[in-house]
Structure 1
């Protein structure tokens, strides 16, 4: 891409001091996937995709980059968050020399011709995913249309979010290729693993009893959860609650409350059996959440009823087909809850009384099944597109490994 168009763009682009490579954190060993995101949804889709890739291939590093507003991402040793480098040749070269990505996934648009040209010089495989017309409509292309074509040529794969995105790409590309509409990639969470033999054993012990789950429950939510359960078992006498504390100190307090209120409790970590008259199955450690999300057809997600606890990601139970009840304080997961609510997969409550009403309504099997199915469909949207991208990355990583 060493053309007159790129030269003109470099002359007109903003000049600023390049980030020194010494300012970057050390690059970990092994494969590194570089992702360029433009909002929270694309960041979540990227993180989910790389989690899937790790399951298939083993450890790899994810470098998440952004233009202006940093996305909220989980803190992990194998995930790095950085701003995109300045749009200068020196900054782009230092960025790519330091990180040496194995593959680049560029979401949406807001293209950086200098950085992309430098990536092409580095022989980096790049995919432009779910391109949007609003992010592609850059003033640069109007006075340097040939630069738009050159920039798109650097991508091995290009897909559009919708018809508008495809039309904008075709205009930029001068209709030289057929661009598929991919839609958004899968925005989900990996479901926790479930020990099938334990699942079968617990299901047999429950013997067809109705059961609901309250997970990640904070200390100031315990009273409301137990009040709602007390009201519910007056109507459905064999109803069992799986209660999971948000932390060990809260579990200690919960044990005291359960004892003082006279509940018939199976203390799971103590090895207690689940008996016919068990009212509460108390779980102190959340390592087996996949089991309990499978056992209970609907769940109340704690850390959402009272403010200040940071919320709880609803995509985890949704991935296992669980209908969801939650409070008003959803923290950074507001978009996730709104998406599930619009699909009819999540229901908001505000106190013990509204939680009791929600439990009563969801004890009707058809209502719960409908919500659980909607939850699964919602987090499964875009799965085919994500699978296709993973296959492409795998081919590139296989090629890199064969060269080493």
Structure 2
């Protein structure tokens, strides 16, 4: 396979660059290896979830996630994902990397391309998918003066999933008369599998709370509870039957939260005691997060904790969104920033900064139609993200199956 002039010039320049190969400490496992490259470390968790979903449909598959040299994932990766820095573009580093890992499939999140790495993978027969393709460029800005190799690198991919229709149309021309398939898909988003629940408990809880507005404060930190209780007292003046469900982020917080409820003079019951709320109950306290699937289904509105106090980074908002709960949250959500941004843009999540703001939004969302509209917007975000993942997983399966046939 002859290289284009632009790609050949890039390769010649890359050979003269210093070698810089991050230490490889993990052995390659037996079976297929699904290699996910994430040029944006903020998106690492989203890409890792995609890799795990694909691996679950293969026999004995491993997921390797790489980031650009000098970068680390900015989010905690799910269990079962191996992380490794990418090698430099020096061909000798690339050879060592690919000789060790021997990937079967490469999924690449742009926009920055690494032509030497992608070209060598192609020559080894690695099936490859480019996702969220829009404006593409070279990873090394110092090499922009070279004859443009971006289009030649684009032709090395087996499939390209464009960010939107305009991007798909733009890629059709340079990929004309090539085997590369262009898909108009959309942005890839973090996924959340519906959390389990006990149907009998849900039915009994709904019976116990019939006619009462219910909201959930989930994954709460100790320092967030005073703000939550302050807002709750404000709302009780107008909606005196409202029930609050409190779930701490860790069980260790529960005793202190229990005492805070006593000090506040609020009547509460504890789920771990097997108690259901009655008409006089203000707060239901659940000690652990084990039954969040139940609480998200029971509460039309959820305040996602660990977001009002700084230093915790927020918790996954797609969990309640997938189960039909409108979402309120504080400003500290860096661990799931992309998901919160997408939900907010769609109208499925709302930022609150203080007790007054929280009380205002809770009062507004006591209207069932308001909460339902917000919850539906959040559910649509989750559904749209799942559709894009479905398309990519199906294409990856096809490419891997073809490799098996022709192996």
Q: Do these two structures clear the TM 0.5 threshold for a shared fold by scoring above it?
A: yes
Unmatched runs of 5 consecutive residues or more in structure 2: none
Superposition pairs of residues 87-236 of structure 1, within 5 angstroms = 87-135=89-137, 151-173=153-175, 176=178, 179-236=182-239
What TM-score do the two structures reach when normalised by structure 2? Answer: 0.86
Shift of 1:296: 0.3
Give the deviation of 1:114 after TM superposition: 1.9
Contact conserved, 1:187 with 1:381, CA < 8 A, in 2? no
* Cα distance per residue 1:157-200 (max 9 Å; x no partner): 12322345335534543565673322222343333223333322
The Cα of 1:369 is off from its aligned counterpart by 0.8
The answer on whether the counterparts of 2:127 and 2:400 sit within 8 Å (CA) in structure 1 is no
Q: Given that residues 51 and 190 in structure 1 are in contact (C-alpha distance below 8 angstroms), is that contact kept between their aligned partners in structure 2?
A: no
Root-mean-square deviation (Å): 3.1
Task: Indicate conservation of the 8 Å contact 2:114/2:139, yes or no.
Answer: no
SS of alignment partner, residue 185 of structure 1 = coil
Match of residue 299 from structure 2: 296
For residue 306 of structure 1, the aligned residue among 309, 312, 325 is: 309
| Cα distance in 2 between the residues matched to 1:386 and 1:198 | 33
- State the partner residue of 1:251: 254
Q: 1:261 to 1:170 in 2, by over 3 A?
A: closer
Report the counterpart of residue 63 of structure 2 in structure 1.
62
Report the Cα offset of residue 108 of structure 1.
2.8
Aligned residues: 402
**Would the aligned equivalents of 2:272 and 2:287 in 1 still touch at CA under 8 Å?**
yes
Query: 1:315-334 CA distances to partner (integer Å, 9 max, x unpaired)?
Result: 22222222111122223333
- 8 Å Cα contact 2:45-2:190 kept in structure 1: yes
| Aligned pairs for 1:72-91 within 5 A | 72-91=74-93
TM-score by length of 1: 0.87
Cα distance change on mapping 1:28 and 1:78 into 2, 3 Å: farther
Q: CA offsets, 1:92-118, max 9 Å, x none?
A: 221122222231111234322221222
CA distance in 2, matches of 1:291, 1:29: 39
Give the unaligned 5+ runs of structure 1.
Answer: none
Aligned pair partner of 1:337 in 313, 323, 340: 340
Alpha-carbon offset, residue 74 of structure 1: 1.5
Deviations along 1:200-259, whole A, 9 cap, x unmatched? 232233234221000111111112212222332332232211100121221110112223
Higher helix share: 1
Deviations 1:304-353 (A, max 9, x none): 22222322232222222221111222233334323322222222222222
Change (3 A) 1:193 1:128: same
